[in-house]
Chains A and B, each alone.
Chain A
Amino acid sequence: MTIALRSIHKHYGDIRANDGIDLVLRPSTVHGILGENGAGKSTLMKILSGYVRKTSGTILVDSEEVDFKNPAEAASHGIGMLYQDPLDFPPLTVLENFMAGQRMKAWPDRSLFRKRLAGLCREMGFDLDPETPVVRLTVGERQQLELARHLAAGRRVLILDEPTTGISSLQKDVLFSALRRLSSGGATVVLVSHKLEDVETLCDEVTVLKKGRVSGSAVRPFSTGALLEMMFGREPAPPLRKGHEPGAQALFLEGVHAHGGRTGLAQCTVKVNRGEVVGLAGLEGSGQDVFLRVAAGLTRPTRGRVHVSRKDMTGRDHHAFKTMGVAFQPAARLEEGLIAGLSVAEHCAILERSSFSLDLDASASLAQERIQSFQVAARPESPVESLSGGNQQRLLLSFLPDDPVLLLLENPTRGLDRESVRWVWERLDAIASNGAAIVFSSSEIDEILMVSDRVLVFFEGRIIHDVRPEDTDALMLGKAIAGRV
Chain B
Amino acid sequence: MGLKTALAGVAEIAASVLVVVAFTTLVLLVAGAPPLDTFAVLVKGSLGSWSKLSHVIKVWIPLTLASCGLLFTFKAGLWNIGVEGQVMMGAVATTLAMRMGGPSPLAGMVTALALVAGMAGGALWALCAGFLKTKAGVHEIFAGLGLNFVSQGLVLWLIFGPWKQPGIASMSGTETFDERLWIPSIEALNLSPAALGMAVAAVIVTAYLLSSTRLGLYLRAVGGNEKAAVLFGLKPHAVMTAAMLCAGGLAGLAGAFQVSGVYHRLIPAISSGYGYLALLVVLLAYYNVWAAPVVAFFFACLNTGAIQLPMLLSLDSSLSGVIQGSMVIAALAVHSVSTRSRRSRG
Contacts and interface: CB of A to CB of B under 8 A. Distances in A.
Q: Do A and B come from the same complex?
A: yes
A80 to B, nearest CB: 30
Given A340-B225, A341-B224, A357-B212, A346 B217 contact: yes
B233 A351 contact: yes
B224 A355 contact: no
A350 B213 contact: no
Contacts of B223: 341
Interface in A380-409: 399
A318 B224 CA distance: 19
A347 B232 CA distance: 8
B228 to A, nearest CB: 5
Contacts of A322: 233
A358 interface: yes
A357 B225 contact: no
Q: Which of B217, B221, B227, B231 has the most CB of A within 10 A?
A: B231
A360 B212 CA distance: 8
Interface stretch (A29-37, A328-336, A428-436): A328-336
A107 interface: no
B214 A353 contact: yes
Contact of B214 (A318, A336, A338, A356): A356
A120 interface: no
B47 interface: no
Given A350-B218, A357-B214, A358-B217, A342 B224 contact: yes
Interface string A121-133: 0000000000000
A357 B235 contact: no
Nearest to A349: B217
B234 interface: yes
Contacts of B228: 336-339
B233 A358 contact: no
B221 A342 contact: yes
Contacts of B224: 339-342
Interface in A302-342: 318-319, 322, 328-330, 335-342
B225 to A, nearest CB: 4
B301 to A, nearest CB: 32
B209 to A, nearest CB: 10
B300 to A, nearest CB: 30
Contacts of A342: 217, 220-221, 224
Interface in B200-251: 212-218, 220-221, 223-225, 227-235
Contacts of A319: 230, 233, 235
Contacts of B221: 339, 342, 346, 350
A353 B215 CA distance: 11
A118 interface: no
A353 B223 CA distance: 18
B217 A350 contact: yes
A298 interface: yes
A318 B228 CA distance: 12
Contacts of A298: 230
B66 to A, nearest CB: 24
Which of A340, A342, A349, A353 is the most central at the interface, judged by chain B CB atoms within 10 Å of its CB?
A342
Contacts of B227: 330, 335-336
User: Chain B interface secondary structure, helix, strand, loop or mixed?
Assistant: helix
A350 B225 contact: no
B220 A355 contact: no
A46 to B, nearest CB: 21
B213 A338 contact: no
A341 B220 contact: yes
A334 to B, nearest CB: 8
B179 to A, nearest CB: 41
Contacts of B232: 339, 347, 350-351, 399
Contact of A358 (B212, B225, B230, B235): B212
Contacts of B225: 335-336, 338-340
A338 B226 CA distance: 10
B344 to A, nearest CB: 15
B80 to A, nearest CB: 19
A315 B209 CA distance: 35
A295 B220 CA distance: 28
B76 to A, nearest CB: 12
Nearest to B229: A339
Contacts of A351: 232-233
B230 A350 contact: no
Contacts of B234: 350
Given A339-B221, A341-B224, A350-B221, A357 B213 contact: yes
Interface string B122-158: 0000000000000000000000000000000000000
Interface string A350-373: 110101111010000000000000
Contacts of A356: 213-215
A414 B132 CA distance: 39
Contacts of A399: 232
Interface in A423-455: none
A341 B223 CA distance: 10
Contacts of B218: 350
A298 B217 CA distance: 23
Contacts of B214: 349, 353, 355-358
A360 B211 CA distance: 10
25 contacts: A318-B230, A319-B230, A328-B231, A336-B227, A337-B228, A337-B231, A338-B228, A339-B220, A339-B221, A339-B228, A340-B225, A341-B220, A342-B217, A346-B220, A349-B217, A350-B217, A350-B233, A350-B234, A351-B233, A355-B214, A356-B213, A356-B214, A358-B212, A358-B213, A399-B232
Given A340-B224, A350-B234, A351-B233, 18 more contacts: A318-B231, A319-B230, A319-B235, A335-B227, A336-B225, A336-B227, A339-B224, A342-B220, A342-B221, A346-B217, A347-B232, A349-B217, A353-B214, A355-B214, A357-B214, A358-B213, A358-B214, A358-B217
Interface of A: 298, 318-319, 322, 328-330, 335-342, 346-347, 349-351, 353, 355-358, 360, 399
10 nearest interchain CB pairs? A339-B224, A339-B225, A341-B224, A336-B227, A350-B232, A339-B228, A339-B221, A357-B213, A356-B214, A358-B212
